[in-house]
């Protein structure tokens, strides 16, 4: 993940956390622990191993699916809002 991609992802994840109905509730388990949306943002912000992996995964999946990380996260925000 490039520096530019990290900045884009940080902005998008911040939007996701802000719109998330339960930003402090774990939503993913990885490497033996669970992460809340807020923690995922902090991991990317802190350039941890998990944050790097998450960013690389999202950009790779977007490329494979012929879309953008922004489209994936915006769709996730919309789904979260509908689920409220």
Give per-residue pLDDT as tens, 13-70. 999 999 998 999 998 888 789 999 999 999 999 989 999 999 999 999 999 999 999 9
Q: How far apart are the first and last CA of the chain?
A: 32
pLDDT for residue 32 = 87
pLDDT for residue 81 = 82
Is pLDDT above 90 for 10?
A: yes
pLDDT for residue 83 = 76
pLDDT for residue 16 = 93
Domain boundaries, position 41: 3-83
Number of domains in the chain: 1
Listed residue (34, 35, 50, 45) closest to 12, CA to CA: 45
């Amino acid at each position: 993940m490039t520096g530019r991609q990290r900045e884009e992802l940080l902005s998008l994840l911040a939007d996701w956390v802000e719109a998330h109905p339960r930003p402090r509730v774990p939503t993913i388990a990885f490497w033996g622990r669970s992460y809340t949306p807020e923690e995922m943002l902090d991991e990317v912000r802190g350039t941890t191993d998990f944050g790097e992996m998450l960013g690389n995964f999202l950009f790779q999946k977007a490329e494979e699916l012929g879309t953008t990380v922004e489209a994936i996260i915006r769709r996730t925000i919309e789904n979260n809002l509908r689920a409220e």
